Amino acid sequence: MSISQLKFGHQNLNSNSIHPVNLRFQSSHIKFKLATTRLHSSTSASLTQPLVPEDKIRATKHNLSPNINRLFDFLPGRSWWDLGEEDEADMVKTDNPVTVWYVLQRIWRLVADDKLVIYIGLCSLTVAAVSEICIPNLLAASVFAAQNGESLVLYKNLKILTFLCFASGICSGLRSGCFGIANMVLLKRLRKTLYTNILLQDVSFFDREPVGNLTSRLGADCQKLSHIISNNLHLIVRNTLQGTGALINLLTLSWPLALSSCFICILLCMIFLVYGWYQKKAAKLIQDSTAHANEVSQEALSLVRTIRVKGTETKEHERYKRWLDKLAFVSTRESVAYGLWNFSFSTLYPIILGGMSILAGHASAEQLTKYVLYCEWLIYAAWRLADNFSSLLQCVGASEKVFQLIDVLPSHQFSAKGVKLQKLRAQFEFINVSFHYPSRTKTPALDQVNISIQPNEVLAVVGLSGSGKSTLVHLLLGLYEPTQGQILIDGHPLKDLDMRWLRENIGYVGQEPHLFRMDIKSNISYGCSRKLKQEDVERAAKQARAHEFICSLPDAYETLVDDELLSGGQKQRIAIARAIVRDPVILILDEPTSALDAETEYYIQELMMRLKNEEKAILFIAHRLSTARAADRIVVMDQGRVAEMGDHETLLSQNGLYARLHRLQNNNCL
């Protein structure tokens, strides 16, 4: 996080960061201004987050090193400096310690293909820094040459000064441009790498990692991490070169004075060691708190209709406020720590001036002028260098979760090459399949399930809510793997098949149809591997009884899908068309008629009967038993087990669970 702006070079402030202090320095005196802390919580992410207890937000002291903790105990307020405990969900567990060197290595791998831009930037930086460090010497010499009437020396120095200023200006502009390009390349590749790796994870990964948290890492954290190149690394190199040049000039002028300046710089570095580590931990907590605050806000805004109907605006406000309080809690301490860091500089700087006054009798006026200029340059370079390192440590703190997510191994479905069958006959079988979700390990979703389906067959699965109907679909789609047992497709274990190839042959309609913010034609053709013509899209829409209402829209198939544009039933029909247009061998429908009227439901039943005669296997989850009665076989699920199996008439004659559900639905219809 960049938190300072200096007269001799500044760092751009991150939009997500805290702007606690604004310092302005002039050549011989210091103006210190402690500005009001401003908090920004802008990120494109959100997540469903439970209400956070106050004692969880304000817990024990954060895990700083013991020595640094002891130092802060001696400061006024003592426990006031506690940053609070890191939330368990945000704790990073990785075999590779996240150090500055580790982060720099990871960043270099991302930008190595464009290293020429960085090399040009470094060369320009070096030329600019050397040019700038020569200016005080020539400037002082020119002033005293003018006073002494040495016109030839004055004109010579002015020519050199003009050249150095031009060289410094041109190289500084080239440096800024090159490192700006490198920053853009790093941010692009960092987000691309992270996003690609997230997309390749198992579905169980998204059960553990809230989507809002992931989008926050893609947005705010990657943006902050990219500042290592644009705002931190090249400024560290620049200030190191300028400080070294100033020290060399000081040594040539007077080594006792130079050593006194070095002593002050060493004191600044010692103070920085404490401050830097404190800022690193604070930066990570700020990033996490900002992510959680925005996760809560996005969730509330996306469910604003529910909130308005339930009248829970005050409750949502409190949820959001809790994370803002956590953010303000840490940010305030970070801001005060930054103020103390600057106070140490403003206290030590007069010591240098006083020392120079005492030793002024041992140097000429010209030497003393050069010394003052180079001493100021050295101290400012040391201060800015420490400030750049502090910002670098904050970026390192924000990088932990990003690199942890990048290092998560992708799903074996994408890393391993599976088997592609020459022809898919659509015969699949569940053999003693048991399964429990990763978040509910003690509650089995399926228990010893045995089901088979043949080509040209329609299999309906019915049962009470939570009986495991949708879980069967999730396993068949390869979203999860069985805890026990196996699933065979045409005699081959499902896990050995190429899942991308298999999914190209499966048409799927979920309980809640999800449409993308794109035109209707693109929504229907979404995910289809073959190139579709307009006639193909319209044919599928007609089969799904969606063509008429699509044509009635202003732009027909080119109409952009919006939440308010289509009803639930219309969205479901588009989702059915999207499944049909793929010409799948296996068609899976998870309660496809839940939002359809009776007439459309009838046509969908007819469609399933027609598709089954085309050597397709159809599996559908039925909430309405009137839809299930047309199936060849009906599987009745109860608490994760197959309770009954048979056709409609057989199950009614058994007078079991199916018959009871059938009577209940018939009574409700009366």
Residue 565 DSSP symbol: T
Instruction: For the chain, report the end-to-end CA distance as a whole number of angstroms.
Output: 67
Q: What percent of the chain has pLDDT over 90?
A: 0
| Section 60-80 average pLDDT | 47
Mean pLDDT of 590-604: 66
Beta strands in 160-205 (DSSP E): none
- Tally of CB atoms within 10 A around 419: 11
Instruction: State the average pLDDT for the chain.
Output: 73
The secondary structure of the chain in percent helix, strand, coil, rounded to multiples of 5, reads 60, 10, 30
Contact 347, 32 (CB under 8 A): no
Residues 6+ apart with CB under 8 A from 360: 368
Give the C-alpha separation, 232 to 238, whole Å. Answer: 10
Q: Burial code of 496-520, b = ≥16 C-beta within 10 A, e = fewer?
A: ebebeebbbbbbbbbbebebeeebb
Rounded CA separation 183/527 (Å): 34
Round the CA-based radius of gyration of the chain to a whole number and report it: 34
Q: Which residue has the tokens 């002593």?
A: 263
Any bridge partners for residue 395, and if so which? Answer: none
Q: Is residue 30 pLDDT above 60, yes or no?
A: no
Confidence class of residue 82 from pLDDT cuts 50, 70 and 90?
Answer: low
Burial 121-147 (b: 16+ CB within 10 A, else e): bbebbebbbbbbbbbbbbebbbebbee
Between CA 300 and CA 298 the distance in angstroms is 5
CB neighbourhood size of 238 (10 A):
23
Judge contact between 45 and 212, C-beta under 8 A: yes
Domains in the chain, start-ordered, CATH in brackets? 5-36+54-407 (1.20.1560.10), 417-505+584-669 (3.40.50.300), 517-579 (no CATH)
Q: Half-sphere exposure (CA, 13 Å, Cβ side) for 252?
A: 9
In this prediction, residues 460-470 reach a mean pLDDT of 84
Q: Please, what is the Cα angle at 583 between 579 and 585, to 5 degrees?
A: 95
What confidence score (pLDDT) does residue 366 get? Answer: 63
CA gap 653, 649 in Å, rounded:
6
- 96 — pLDDT class (breaks 50, 70, 90): low
Whole-number pLDDT of residue 368: 67
State the pLDDT at residue 187: 86
Round to whole Å and give the CA distance between 47 and 404.
19
Place of tokens 């952009």: 560
- Burial of 175: CB neighbours in 10 Å, binned 0-12, 13-18, 19+: buried
Mapping DSSP to helix (H, G, I), strand (E, B) and coil, where does residue 457 land?
strand
Residue type present at position 432: N
Distances (CA, A) of 67 to 80, 341, 527: 17, 18, 57
* Pairing verdict, β 641-646 and 446-453: unpaired
Give phi and psi for 512, each to the nearest 5: -110, 110
Given a cut of 50, is residue 270 above it in pLDDT?
yes
Mean pLDDT of 536-546: 84
Q: How far apart are CA 395 and CA 212, in angstroms?
A: 21
- Model confidence over 602-615: pLDDT tens digits? 677 777 777 766 77
154-168: pLDDT as tens digits? 788 788 888 888 888
For 424: left if phi > 0, alpha if psi spans -120 to 50, otherwise beta; the answer is beta
Extract the tokens encoding 334.
């970070």
Confidence of residue 17 (pLDDT cuts 50, 70, 90): very low
Residue 429 Cα distances to 470, 485, 494, angstroms? 16, 11, 10
Q: Per-residue confidence at 593, pLDDT binned at 50, 70, 90?
A: low
